Amino acid sequence: MITIKGKSVFGGVSIGKISFYKRNEQVIKRLHIEATEEEVQRFQSARATAIEELKGLYNKAMEDVGEANAAIFEIHQMMLDDLDYIESIENIIRTQEVNAEFAVATTADNFAQMFASMDDAYMQGRAADVKDVSERILNILSGNCNAGMVADEPVIIAADDLVPSETVQLDKSKVLGFATMYGSSNSHTSILARTMNIPAVIGLGNELSEQFDGKDAIIDGFTGTIYIEPDEETMTAMKKKQEEDLAQKALLDQLRGKENITTSGQKVNVYANIGNVADVGLVLKNDGGGIGLFRSEFLYLESETFPTEEEQFTAYKQVAENMAGKKVIIRTLDIGADKQVDYFNLDKEENPALGYRAIRICLTQPEIFKTQLRALYRASAFGNISIMFPMIISVDEVKKVKAICAEVMEELTAAGIPFNKDTELGIMIETPAAAIVSRDLAKEVDFFSVGTNDLTQYTLAIDRQNLKLDPFCDTHHPAVLALIKMSAENAHAEGKWIGICGELGADLELTEQFLAMGIDELSVSPGMILPLRKKIRES
């Protein structure tokens, strides 16, 4: 048995086989080829196989997720029939006398660059598609068809690290747990593990090796340990721990339907954080009073190109309807930093966390922002939706955001499309600047929600992605708590409410302090709703 210690992200025990996450990171070599016509044939046969695969995927997607979502596979098929694309590849093979892989990769880069530099957002989105279809051909040419996870049985996913776009594409029903070499507990992959109620351990280092692929393992998410090829004694102890955990969860279940009220009668709303429509099931199962943060950018991360207004409208409407009149706070897209989406074609930056992200993208690319706002306002006719804006640093930004919202509402009115004109608008307090000018900001909005993950990162100058800095990161740092308190006082002075939707909201050691500050709402991962209710009721 091999025991490796890391850092716990989410409690619980999972037992199963390890599947090492495989990436399509192929190194394409340039090889000299004499028989160029045979190489062209090799490309043509890989192209035909790719088209067949895409037809299969289209049919499966039609059944699983409907026509609108399946359309992407049809677009990909069309790309593979594009004469310019085919001619470019064949020409490179013939004139440069090189292998098909090199010709495909070069053409993919050239076409992607060409699309990315176009003015039209739709065409820009095709850059990611051309890379995607080319990747498919490259996989077929090299016989590597095992990218991502293809296991039939649920497995423990092991990886060096996973970026959010990789995590969202995993088939969640096949994931027993996560174990990664790197990562940090406030990274979005960790947040996703918590949302999905999946035991996870990060920071296991180089000891977690690809050689463990296929081996039996146990993740103890409570202690941050992974056991590989566990001995009988460990297996028995862990099975017992797993049973106890389930029993504890059953006990918490008895708190369903009870109020979030302290012994002295103070009430607080306990809502949930979600990343996609399917998470609503977990919120309802755990008796969440609402949704305090819907990270809408995951809709963009899950998509191969900009999600259309209609696709977004359908998702937001579904969440609002499923929550049946309970508050649903949807945050506008927070792309950038660790949440990179190919088709946005964002430049590489020296300091992405301090860079072009979130509201900064929305305010400079209003067409993307307005598509989302139209979808949100349209969905507001179907439930209790509030809109929240990330990464705000100034009153000026809020005024610009409100002006764009007003434009969208005017357009919808002119088109006779129903929406709730009283939709609440709120902002995230996740920069020290926002906390410091929160009195002025409070005059402009209906509510605040404190994003403690970023507020901590920016206040302490500690990269939330960097595990090495964990020893320096005092998550209860008095500076962060003072900024939260200041924001609460300023919100209340202007008659507005304030919540916390960062991970600190679920830190039970701070619940009493947050209650003393008069925090009105705590939004946590669905699995933390009932433990937090227990803590509040005991306070």
- Point out which residues bind ligand PEP (CB under 6 A): 293, 295, 334, 430, 451-454, 501-502
Cβ proximity to Mg ion: between 107 and 452 the closer is: 452
Nearer to ligand PEP (CB atom), residue 203 or residue 502:
502
Residue 452 binds which of Mg ion, ligand PEP, none (CB < 5-8 A, kind-dependent)? ligand PEP
**E strand map for 1-88:** 2-5, 7-10, 13-20
**CB 61 → ligand PEP: shortest distance, Å?**
28
Between CA 14 and CA 179, with CA 285 as vertex, the angle to 5 degrees is 25
Return the structure tokens found at 222.
């409570």
Q: How far apart are CB 459 and ligand PEP at their closest, in Å? A: 12
The one catalytic residue among 362, 405, 473, 501: 501
Amino acid, single-letter form, for residue 78: M
Cβ-proximal residue to Mg ion, closest one: 454
Residue 295 contact, options ligand PEP, Mg ion, none, Cβ 5-8 Å cut-off depending on partner type = ligand PEP
Strands 497-500 and 521-524, sheet pairing? parallel
What is the nearest approach in angstroms of ligand PEP to the Cβ of residue 502? Answer: 3
Segment lying near Mg ion (by CB under 5 A), choices 7-15, 156-164, 187-195, 444-452:
444-452
Sign of CA dihedral 191, 180, 150, 43: positive
Kindly tell me which of 106 and 184 has the beta carbon lying closer to ligand PEP. 184
User: Does residue number 125 form part of the binding site for Mg ion (CB under 5 A)?
Assistant: no
Residue 220 is a binding residue for Mg ion (CB under 5 A): no
Could you give the CA distance from residue 105 to residue 131 in angstroms, rounded to a whole number?
8
Q: How far is the CB of 470 from ligand PEP (least distance, A)?
A: 17
Verify binding: residue 430, Mg ion, rule CB under 5 A.
yes
279 binds, among Mg ion, ligand PEP, none (CB under 5 to 8 A by kind): none
CB-nearer residue toward ligand PEP: 295 or 535: 295
Residue (of 3, 22, 309, 326) closest to 150 by Cα position: 22
Binding partner at 201 among ligand PEP, Mg ion, none, C-beta below 5 to 8 Å by kind: none
502 binds, options ligand PEP, Mg ion, none, Cβ within 5 to 8 A by partner type: ligand PEP
265: left (phi over 0), alpha (psi -120 to 50) or beta: left
Count of chain residues binding Mg ion (CB under 5 A): 3
Q: How far is CA 60 from CA 55, 68, 79, 192, 303, in A?
A: 9, 13, 20, 26, 17
Closer residue to Mg ion, CB minimum distance, 297 or 454: 454
Are 449 and 329 spatial neighbours (Cβ–Cβ below 8 Å)?
A: yes
Distance CA 292, CA 384 (A): 12
Minimal distance in Å, beta carbon 331 to Mg ion?
9
Q: How far is CA 148 from the centre of its chain?
A: 17
Q: Where are the beta strands (DSSP E) in 96-174?
A: 155-159
The partner in contact with residue 195, picked from Mg ion, ligand PEP, none with C-beta cut-offs of 5 to 8 angstroms by kind, is none
Minimum distance of ligand PEP from residue 504's CB (angstroms):
8
Spatial contact of 108 and 85, defined as CB atoms under 8 Å apart: no
Q: How far is the CB of 434 from ligand PEP (least distance, A)?
A: 11
Closest to ligand PEP by CB, 136 or 327: 327
Could you give the CA distance from residue 296 to residue 298 in angstroms, rounded to a whole number? 5
Stretch that binds Mg ion, among 79-87, 290-298, 398-406, 422-430 (CB under 5 A): 422-430
Q: Which residue, 77 or 453, has its beta carbon nearer to ligand PEP? A: 453
Cα distances (Å, whole numbers) of residue 411 to 309, 366, 371, 383, 489: 14, 14, 12, 21, 37
| Interaction between residue 451 and Mg ion (CB under 5 A) | yes
Neighbours of 205 (CB within 10 A): 12
Q: Does 397 bind Mg ion (CB under 5 A)?
A: no
The listed partner (ligand PEP, Mg ion, none) that binds 14, CB under 5 to 8 Å by sort, is none
Whether 501 is catalytic is yes
Catalytic residue of the set 188, 362, 405, 473? 188
In angstroms, the Cα distances linking 385 to 31, 283, 325, 410, 429 are 57, 16, 9, 18, 19
Q: Write out the catalytic residue numbers.
A: 188, 501
Binding residues vs Mg ion (CB under 5 A): 430, 451, 454
